[in-house]
Structure 1
Amino acid sequence: MKLPVTRSTFFEYLGFNSTKTDTFHLDLPLQAILLQDDGTVHPGVFSTMLDISMGATASLETNSFATTIHLNVSFFDLSPKENYHAKTNIVNIEGKVITAEGIVYGQDGAVAAKAIGMFKASPIKQ
């Protein structure tokens, strides 16, 4: 399945890199603009990363456009790492509602954040 290519200046501004094959992969090389005054990674970066990754995975799984309904994120390690990678999977699909979970890992394998979210599947506009 191929999703339409969209451009997001927000996505690009944060520095995300994605690849889409049969699954969606999201990577983030850390930039200074993503750090808080205390030198830690802003939690919103991981929230955004998980939302994008889980939503894209839901879209690929259902051949739809997935809109976030609910997102619950827990943060474990905000210390800066050079690179981050998000892994996601679908937990449940019931009608138009998709439940997904995701984890952001630093390049050292440490868990930075975990999330579970619900997404609404809508037809892709051609």
Structure 2
Amino acid sequence: MSSSFDELARQAQSTFWGHVGFELEKAEQDKVTISLAIEQHHLNLMGIVHGGVFMTMLDNAMGLVLMLDPSVRTVTATMNTHFLSNVATGTIFCKAELLHRTKRTITMTASIYDESGKLLAYASGSYRLLS
């Protein structure tokens, strides 16, 4: 991981990213992996990770890929999420990558896995480029 990503990860700790508890695991061109150590406040009343935590993780991972290019500024336009399984303990990982880019939008994909590699959720997102 480059020092620019170390700095980005440090700065993010004071934002919503840090409040939730995400950690940057790996950053490469057009793809990243982030993690989250599950804590009690990430769970819903059924004792499993809240769907909103999954969606936040997916959106943050996809958005982080876009930050690989500091000249690009985007906002989430749409996100389609599929919940496949649940988890209540351990660490979860989210891998995101750039799928397609035009002059106005960028399309991303992301998937969340548990520690054993089981797919828990996946999403696609469209991000609008700001001028």
TM-score normalised to structure 2 length: 0.81
Residues 1-126 of structure 1 correspond to what in structure 2 (within 5 A)?
Answer: 2=4, 5=8, 6-7=11-12, 8-19=14-25, 21-22=27-28, 23-60=31-68, 63-122=71-130
SS at match of 1:60: coil
RMSD: 2.2
Are the equivalent residues in 2 in contact too, given 1:69–1:118 (CA < 8 A)?
Answer: yes
Runs of 4+ in structure 1 off by over 4 angstroms are 1-4
Shift of 1:20: 5.7
Per-residue Cα deviation, 1:14-70 (whole angstroms, up to 9, x for no partner)? 111114643432110101111111111100001000001011112325841221010
Displacement, 1:89? 1.4
Checking the alignment, whether the CA contact within 8 Å between 2:39 and 2:89 is kept in structure 1 is no
Query: Could you tell me the TM-score, scaled by structure 1's length?
Result: 0.84
Query: For structure 2, which runs of at least 5 residues remain unmatched after alignment?
Result: none
Q: Given the superposition, is the C-alpha separation of residues 116 and 15 from structure 1 closer, same or farther in structure 2, using an over 3 Å criterion?
A: same
> What letter matches 1:78 in structure 2?
N
* Cα pair 1:59 1:121 within 8 Å, conserved: no
Partners of 1:21 and 1:74 lie apart in 2 by: 24
Matched-pair identity in %: 26
2: CA distance, partners of 1:42 / 1:100: 22
